[in-house]
Amino acid sequence: MKIGLDIGSTTIKSIVIDKANKIIYSSYERHFSQITAKTVEILNTIKNKFKNQKFSIAISGSAGMGMAESCDIDFVQEVYAEKVAAEKNIPNSDVIIELGGEDAKIIFLGQTMEARMNGTCAGGTGAFIDQMATLLDIKTEQMNDLAAQHDKIYTIASRCGVFAKSDIQPLLNQGAKKSDIAISIFYAVVNQTIGGLAQGRPVEGNVVYLGGPLTFMPVLRECFDKTIGTKGVCPENSLYYVALGAAYCAKKETVIEEAIDRLSKYISISEWAKLPPLFENEYEYNKFKTRHSKADVKYASLSDYNKNTFIGIDAGSTTIKAVVTGENGEILHSVYMSNSGNPVPVIHNFITELYKLKPDIKIKASCVTGYGEDIIKNAFHIDSGLVETAAHFTAAKYFMPDVEFIIDIGGQDMKCFKIKNGVIDNIYLNEACSSGCGSFLQTFANTLGYDVEEFSKMGLYAKNAVDLGSRCTVFMNSSVKQAQKDGASTGDISAGLSTSIVKNAIYKVIRPSSVDELGKNIVVQGGTFINDAVLRAFEKEMGVNVIRPVIAGLMGAYGCALYAKTLNIEKSSILNAYELKNFSHSVKSVNCGLCSNNCRLTVNSFGDGSKYIGGNRCERPVTKNTSVGELNIYKFKQDYIKSLTPTNKGIKIGIPLGLNMYEMAIFWYRFFIELGFDVVISPLSDRDIFLKGQATIPSDTVCFPAKLVHGHIKYLIENDDIKYIFYPCMSFNFDEHLGDNNYNCPVVAYYPEIIAANMKIKEGVTLINDYVGVHRKKDFSKKLHTILSKYFNNIKLGAVKTASEKAFEAHDEYMKAIREKGIDIVKKAEKLDKKIIVLAGRPYHADPEINHGIDTLLESMDTAVISEDALSGFVEKFRVNVLNQWTYHARLYAAAKYISDKSNMELVQLVSFGCGLDAITTDEVRSIIEKAGKIYTQIKIDEITNLGTVKVRLRSLLTALKQQEEKLNG
């Protein structure tokens, strides 16, 4: 008999087969990280069931790797095991798709077997679905049924779990239906799997679905079927294929008792990086607790209070906080509760209860902040909304008037700000990658069966706390799994997680060079800081004592209440008891259709006829205002590209509108038109274009703008009239004399090679991806003539020379047009007394699918938008502290320098996730901006479509600027 064990990240599967390879026993159990003990238990069960038998045993699954080897048991790599099992049982299968707790795999069988597992960054498929279920406040098992009832599908980022969560969180707060979100999550999983793993090899033929999520969730299988365009099968025993394959591969005959004996004695010898304990002893902890209990507010009894009251609400990502204060800031009532995936009923309950507690309450004013600000404000007629940063600052200032630094860690976001002269001087907000740390702690605690408080307490005295570094929660999750395997205790992990959250805040968000930079008076707040372990980890890591208000978790709400008092309203418009009773809420999702963004809108209707629309990137669906684009250079750039239409004369050459082509297309368009060709430029990107090409992307960690190129090529291939696609490699860019060299970034320079190597270019279509150099105008026409002569007959050198001249002219004209448009916008904005925002990035950030409409968002916030290339031409070369060797990046430094002495201009830098070069440019741009005494704002964008966090960031900036100005003007 043969035994196969599949030890996965959360479960152990076992299979016993007889001599005829027939399955005679199987089991499927969760191991709760007790891997060795569980394995021993399973083997004992098998031993007792099949007495006096001879066995060969093989272990598979990454969690069993070290153990199998030390215990002298055969180890079979899990994908390989799966392949063996599939070949035996489903001989005609072509592709296997398997989703597990941690890994996603695609195996291509047939002539050339290829197996792919997700890269580290896209880990945790099953774990991701679990996490999302927690977010939706449902059981994982309910996900499938919920998804089956959907009407609409939202676009959710598919790069990884953290990014997807950033899209889902705001959707929940906009009132999107859980069923629609559930199906959207499934599609995110599908897109992540196909986009990350197909890598150019078509998923076709007989598809087999294996693993837990695909076995238990038929709707998820349907999503795969629809995307691939096939009907896959989920075979009998689909959970056991790895175990089965391991059993087939088991060779060495073993006495089962001996194997069990070896396993029982096995203690993982792996070591992990350890941190010193948070507290050495109870005495130390008590001292710490006493110190922090001092920072408290005044309280008063609600029922005895007959003066005016103020309500502050903080509708956060995972929790909802509300505070009722009296005239002197005393807290009369407060609540702190989970938002259960929908803030509306929670707030409804809160206000209803409040009226019950104090029927004659005098509410003077109310204010709301947080993710749910807009929906709550509209639903309950709250008087005012406030951006989170302002709310937190107001509260902290009340506590400590001379506060110098505030750090707020909530469930999803981290917000830190430096205060100078009583106003916000600098804002540091986390980007997508370090988001969700706080709620991760909670979800993780829950999966182990603890609540978060209990869980974090377990880490206070941990002697061998696991050092989990400061990577995102996906990495944390897999590091924790590894630590569990290595035998770390729950306490060790708890302490490690608390420290890791703090490290994320310090090293990824604030990045101070020393404690001094934060000043002496530091206030920490936010729900996550309620945890003593997190607080202690922060103090230890920074080597400084901080103030944590006792109401740390309520600070946003408290700030709102304090702010409400300053509103000078006679009586709050908040719904009264009668209105609350008749309150109703319905949700509909529609497509906007007012512009090419075509946002998916969530329309919330409330009983009294008021409405709230979410999901929009601009105010158009709300105000129906159509005069957009006038003070927006991005619109101008898009129109410029759109004006390059085909002439319908001559051989058609297709140009993909991707990466540097946002600028170079203008050059090449003129070049080829002059040569008598026709030019078809692919359109501005949209979601469909992205999906078209996603199966051919070889590197899942490359930037989103690069990924989009695949769709543009596909678009051109689909046009039967196009016989040539022109997308040249360019190591160098134009020399604009701003830097030490004029390179393109490696991805921009060589992406055409990726297209040639990974995309099937249709028969009869030629991809021209030769190396060309616009930096050497002198040699350009001769080199181009040689290249073109390879593809076309009768290309005359003279003609190429003329065309080149015209092309260089066209480029100069374009750059000039941008500068002039820039000046024009600046002048108009100055007349209207509007702030001018330099939305600085690269040429391709003009694409609406890449910038997600941040330009229009800024416009709707009453600012004018220009780009870095509108200003860089006015700047002389100057010294920066890095090697300034990329043309596009030199423009960033120049634009930053340009605005240094302009009081009406601010810079917001757009950074695409995965852009390695921006790890260099952001720090340098920041230092130029900060040297000028300005606030630096960075927005990291990827496939994430929801602008929730971006809004917070921009509003924070604008609010801080306004406060600074008010201070200045007395």
Partner 1 sequence: MADLKREKSGRIVFTKEMKKEYTILVPDMLPIHFNIMKNIFTNAGYKIELLDNSGESVKQLGLKYMHNDICYPALLVAGQFLDALKSGKYDVNKTALMIMQTGGGCRASNYIHLLRKALLKAGYENVPIISFNLSGLERNSGFKLTLPIIRRMLAGVIYGDLIMLLSNQTRPYEVKKGDSDRLIKKWIAELSKQFTASKGYSFSQMKENFEKVIKSFSEIKLKKEIKTKVGVVGEIYVKYAKFANNSLEKFLADENCEVMVPGLMGFLMFKVDARVQDFLIYGGSKIKFTLAKALLRYLEKIEKAFMEAIDKSRFTQLSSYNDTKPLVDNIIGLGNRMGEGWFLPAEMIELVKHGYDNIVCTQPFGCLPTHICGKGMVHKIKSMYPHANIVPVDYDTGATRVNQENRIKLMLSVAKEKLLV
Provide, rounded to whole angstroms, the least separation between the CB of residue 98 and partner 1. 13
Distance of CA 904 to the CA centre of its chain: 32
How far are the Cα atoms of 65, 598, 697 from residue 688, in angstroms, in the given order? 41, 12, 15
Q: Which amino acid does the sequence have at 317?
A: S
Pairs from 926-931 (Cβ < 8 Å, separation ≥ 24):
927/881, 928/880, 928/893, 928/896, 928/897, 928/900, 929/896, 929/899, 929/900, 930/426, 931/900
Site for partner 1 (CB under 8 A): which residue of 128, 538, 671, 743? Answer: 743
Interface with partner 1 includes 650 (CB under 8 A)? no
Binding to partner 1 (CB under 8 A) within 196-215 occurs at: 199-201
Q: Does position 487 bind partner 1 by CB under 8 A?
A: no
Q: For residue 253, which amino acid is it? A: E
Among 363, 472, 725, 895, binds partner 1 (CB under 8 A): 472
Q: Does 79 bind partner 1 (CB under 8 A)?
A: yes
Interaction of residue 766 with partner 1, rule CB under 8 A: no
Q: CB of residue 633 vs partner 1: minimum separation in angstroms?
A: 28
Count of residues binding partner 1 (CB under 8 A)?
A: 84
Give the closest residue to 4 by CA, choosing from 228, 242, 336. Answer: 242
Q: Residue 265: how many CB atoms within 10 A of its CB?
A: 10
Least distance (Å) between residue 757 CB and partner 1: 4
Residue span binding partner 1 (CB under 8 A) among the ranges 77-85, 155-163, 329-337, 487-495? 77-85
> Which of 266, 398, 450, 771 is close enough to bind partner 1 by CB under 8 A?
771
Q: Which stretch binds partner 1 (CB under 8 A): 75-83, 88-96, 236-244, 487-495?
A: 75-83
Contact range with partner 1 by CB under 8 A, out of 375-383, 777-785, 832-840, 946-954: 777-785
Q: Which is nearer to partner 1, 94 or 770 (CB)?
A: 770
Residues 6+ apart with CB under 8 A from 187: 153, 156, 158, 223, 227
746 binds partner 1 (CB under 8 A): yes
**Residue 735 DSSP code:** -
Minimal distance in Å, beta carbon 170 to partner 1? Answer: 24
CB of residue 701 to partner 1, shortest distance in Å: 5
Q: How far is the CB of 13 from partner 1 (least distance, A)?
A: 17
Which position among 310, 886, 893, 936 is part of the footprint of partner 1 (CB under 8 A)?
A: 886
CA distance readout (Å), 873 to 442, 741, 799, 820: 50, 16, 31, 11
Does residue 757 touch partner 1 according to CB under 8 A? yes
Strand positions, DSSP E, 641-677: 652-655
d(CA 859, CA 619) in angstroms, rounded, equals 9
Stretch that binds partner 1, among 518-526, 544-552, 746-754, 818-826 (CB under 8 A): 746-754
Nearest to 73 by CA among 16, 4, 134, 123: 4
Q: Tell me: does residue 879 bind partner 1 (CB under 8 A).
A: yes
Rounded to the nearest whole angstrom, what is the least distance from the CB of residue 83 to partner 1 in the complex? 9
Q: Tell me: does residue 550 bind partner 1 (CB under 8 A).
A: no
* 485: contact with partner 1 by CB under 8 A: yes
Piece in contact with partner 1 (CB under 8 A), picked from 126-134, 164-172, 816-824, 909-917: 909-917
Stretch that binds partner 1, among 148-156, 647-655, 751-759, 849-857 (CB under 8 A): 751-759
- Which residue do the tokens 């580290």 mark? 120
- Residues of this chain, 672-711, that bind partner 1 according to CB under 8 A: 698-699, 701-702, 706
Residue 108 three-state SS: strand
Report the residue from 240, 428, 563, 751 that binds partner 1 according to the rule CB under 8 A: 751
Residues 6+ apart with CB under 8 A from 730: 660, 664, 744, 748, 749, 771, 772, 773, 774
Do 896 and 877 contact (CB within 8 A), yes or no?
A: no
User: For the chain, how long is the longest CA-to-CA vector?
Assistant: 95
Under the binding rule (CB under 8 A), the answer on residue 877 touching partner 1 is no
Half-sphere exposure of 379 (CA within 13 A, CB side): 29
The correct pick among 302, 603, 729, 817 for binding partner 1 (CB under 8 A) is 729
| Binding residue for partner 1, selected from 14, 470, 531, 660, defined by CB under 8 A | 470
Binding-site member from 44, 89, 482, 963 for partner 1 (CB under 8 A): 482
3-state DSSP assignment of residue 691: helix
Nearer to partner 1 by C-beta: 478 or 964? 478
> Angle formed by the axes of helices 661-674 and 797-832, to 10°?
140
Which residues between 830 and 849 bind partner 1 (CB under 8 A)? Answer: none
Give the angle subtended at the CA of 303 by the CAs of 298 and 308, to the nearest 5°: 70
DSSP 632: B
CA angle 291, 295, 298 (to 5 degrees): 140
31-70 residues in contact with partner 1 (CB under 8 A) are 62, 65-66
- Which residues, numbered 913-952, are part of the site for partner 1 (CB under 8 A)? 914, 916-920, 922-923
Contact flags string 94-133 toward partner 1, x per CB under 8 A: -----------------xxxxx-x-xxx-x----------
CB of 194 within 8 A of CB of 228?
yes
Site for partner 1 in 263-302 (CB under 8 A): 273
Binding piece for partner 1, criterion CB under 8 A, among 388-396, 408-416, 468-476, 603-611: 468-476
Rounded least distance, CB 813 to partner 1, Å:
24
CA distances to 736, 882, 896, 941 from 888, in Å: 9, 14, 13, 18
Contact region with partner 1 (CB under 8 A), list: 325-333, 443-451, 676-684, 743-751: 743-751
Asked whether the beta carbons of 723 and 651 are under 8 A apart, the reply is: yes
Report 488-507 residues binding partner 1 (CB under 8 A). 507
End-to-end Cα separation, the chain, in angstroms: 87
CB of 104 to partner 1, least distance (A): 13
- Phi/psi of residue 549, each to 5°? -60, 145
624 contributes a contact to partner 1 by CB under 8 A: no
- Return the residue of 596, 731, 766, 802 that touches partner 1, per CB under 8 A: 731
Shortest CB 429 distance to partner 1, Å: 16
Give the span between the Cα atoms of 432 and 509, in whole angstroms. 11
Please identify which residue in the block is written with the tokens 């509260």. Answer: 395
Among 471, 834, 897, 934, binds partner 1 (CB under 8 A): 471
Are 191 and 163 contacting, i.e. CB atoms less than 8 angstroms apart? Answer: no
